[in-house]
Chain A
Amino acid sequence: MQNNNILAVENINFRYRQKKILDDVCFSIHRGDICGLLGPNGSGKTTLLKCINRILNNENGSIRINGRDIAGLSRAEIAGLIAVVPQELNIMFPFTVLQMVLMGGNRRFGFSGIPGRKDCSDAMETLEELNIDNLAERRYNQLSGGEKQMALIARALFQRAEIMLLDEPISHLDFKRQYTIMELIKKITADKDLTTVITLHDPNIAGRYCNRLIMLNDGRIVHQGLRNNIFHAESLEGIYDMKIKIEYTNTGMEYVLPHHIQ
């Protein structure tokens, strides 16, 4: 039987100044998954993403992508497997959106790393795919929050990695743009045959867009599995330390509320 795991995290720990941030974290993700990482602030979500991308080095255990331990890979090889969309990127120098997107292709640009004409037209195509080619010559610093996230997603797409890690990509966006960005993530994950790991604060968004969930609390995984198996009030109460209820709309859609809200 073919193993469909693209990412396997096996028993990793991470400590910062004696404080355990990740404690024996172990999970696997299938190709094509949109996997939501849920948990309160400080539960280790961002640290876990940084370990997967080897920005931080886990103490023990292993992180395997397509069966290869990333500890033995170069930065360029990891960049070929994993692209990252940060929560918010503020930069000192005002690069244009096209220049930002081009940076995603760095690992393909050879020894000196200078993009050619073809690379520029490919980057423009990526912007066109996301319908943001009108932003190409705009300065990244001057974009709205939603436009910045779109630009960063375009950059991740141009990186042409198999896995996309997104660290709270919608936490500072308005209501409409949260859904715009999540719809886009869902679409490109399917269209581009990607696997997406995304940290989220809103369980409603996670429940709507993720087919797999990992719930973290205090550095430990408390629940994990397919969304339909673990998305219930008890599991959410376990990570947020509050009474939670799940109600249903007329169309049968679930929505999560704190228990005391009528």
Chain B
Amino acid sequence: MEIIKIKNLSKTYTKGIFQKRQVRALDGIDLTIRKGELFGILGPNGAGKTTLLNIIMGQIIPEQGYVEIDGYQITKKFPDKLKQKMNMCSGNPNFPWSLTVYEILKFYGMLYGYSGLFLKNKIENLIEIFSLGKYRNVLYDELSTGNKQKLALAKAMINDPEILLLDEPTIGLDPDVARKIRKFIIDLHNRKKITILLTTHYMKEAEEMCERIAFIKQGKIKALGTKEKLKKLTKTKNLEEAFIVFAN
């Protein structure tokens, strides 16, 4: 069953003082994501991966195209009911710097309408899952990069999303922390069968995690399919080599 349907999606940014310079970020994207799928979006810098995720999350309005998520056409209006089912986490996350780990989770939990013992238990559970117990009263500004990323993932899980968008979630992390985060995402996907859209620069990460992959370049989908299909298509042994073929 398809949970995200994207048709002919385009986005152009205008830049410069007089807004005359135009940058085409997405150019006629067609894509469907199945319910419960762990889907990877790969592409070089500036390919349009983050813009695509931001449109799916309702943070950018495209000038053309159609995006339907779980039956809602979000380019017209992004309903709160849908926001309640979705969440996101990006690499190099930003949160209010003078709030502690516990306060950040509490604040975002409250934004989903939770309160009291229900919210408290939810936060405690997330703190335990992400091994943040030692840091519960530490200010965000004082956390290590790895713990900031764990907190970002914990925040992304505060509403038990059915659709999770991960924008380079392991960027800049130590291999050890990155491995733990990858393991968490895979476990989460296997356990809850939630739909996950993942953008990454790391081909091994995509190879290890994603069921299907779209390769984007200059705002267009250059290839789409399973890892095996992409490798076969490029006559390469791994995704890294396939990436180089597509990128050139």
Indicate, yes or no, whether A interacts with B. Answer: no
